[in-house]
Homo-oligomer: A and B are copies of this chain.
Amino acid sequence: MTERAAEDPAARRRRKRPTMRDVAREAGVALRTVSRVVNDDPTVGPHLVTRVRAAITALDYAPDERAQQLRRGVSGTIGAAVRNLADAHPVLSAVDQAARQARLTVLAMSTEDEEEREREAVMSMCRRRVDGIIIEPISTNHQYLAAELESGMPLVAVDRPTGGVAADAVLSDNAAGIGMAFRHLVLHGHHRIAYIGDDERIFTGRERAAAFRACVAANGGTIDGLVHPGFVSPDRVAAALDAVLRGNPPATALITGNVATTIEVLRRLGAEAGRLAIVGFDDFPLADILRPGVTVIAQDSAVIGRTAIELLLARTADPDRPVRNVTVPVELIPRGSGELRPPP
């Protein structure tokens, strides 16, 4: 790690940040007039507007948003509690864009998949008096938010619902997705289809595993040795994959319940990836350039993000409206891995 000191006028003078009062003095007008100009109030004479603008430029004045917020009562900011800042749920992009269109700033904080961090992040947002919160829940018990919800804080859960308190949520249609995957594989000639996915303590893990069991049952099969929910770790996925491949008879197709599992399975399979038909839940970048391409059930991030903001704004407008859960359809994207036929 190399350091290099660059040129720097050592005698750089620090200027204190100018306030609105300074601008008023500079322009020779009242504070209120500056405020009017800053807020584009049309009732200011053009002459003064010019003078104030000049003063603002001369002093490099920028209003203090904290003071504005404090006084105005709204923050113009919504909080987003996401799992990881560098690799957030793709809906966050959509949330961000939709928020911008609603002239709202997004304050993103990471939860690192830890309940306590989630709580810290969300409470910090509340203390900042954000105008609403989008949360990708980690915790299963959000009682700690009861007071906030009661005092009208709009909160929208994404991907998973909140627990213990009623809040708006926008979820993907997990059951339909698993159904699509299952039928797709059956259609391609598979009879022994297995499932490896998240721990059933996690909402999506629970929903997807349950949907899978229902599919097997509806198809008149038995689920013995075919369903492998659990914590996603290389070892566990490896063991589950092993059980699936060495079953009697072995499964010829696999549904993976989340991206981490899909990737771990592919990593494990390596060169033998073509040996097993695979449909993964949730799309991921590069799924199309793997060989074979990975067939996935894709969530509609754009719609989810937009819907989340809509629910947020609706609740802001009417804090007493009934709580809503919106389910967004998913889509099967065939890319090769899900279209593999079983060996004869």
Contact = CB atoms under 8 A, between A and B. Distances in A.
A7 B10 CA distance: 65
A93 B303 CA distance: 26
- Interface residues of A toward B: which range? 35 or more
A127 B4 contact: no
A62 B4 contact: no
Contacts of A270: 289, 291
A282 to B, nearest CB: 13
Interface in A151-177: 151-152, 166, 173
Contact of A6 (B148, B320, B325): B325
Copies in the complex: 2
A86 B88 CA distance: 5
Task: Output the residue of A1, A285, A307 with the most chain B CB within 10 A.
Answer: A1
B12 A150 contact: yes
Contacts of A320: 10, 12, 14
Contacts of A224: none
A105 interface: yes
Interface stretch (A67-75, A182-190, A203-211, A233-241): A67-75
A254 to B, nearest CB: 16
A322 B289 contact: no
Interface stretch (A40-48, A106-114, A212-220): A106-114
B290 A166 contact: no
Interface stretch (A26-34, A192-200, A242-250, A326-334): A326-334
Given A86-B93, A88-B85, A324-B5, A106 B109 contact: yes
Nearest to A269: B289
A67 B70 contact: yes
A73 B80 CA distance: 25
Nearest to A268: B289
Contact of A324 (B3, B86, B88, B128): B3
Nearest to A293: B270
Interface string A96-131: 100000000111111000000000000110111100
Given A64-B127, A65-B124, 12 more contacts: A1-B307, A3-B326, A5-B322, A6-B324, A7-B166, A60-B151, A64-B129, A66-B70, A66-B128, A85-B93, A85-B106, A85-B108
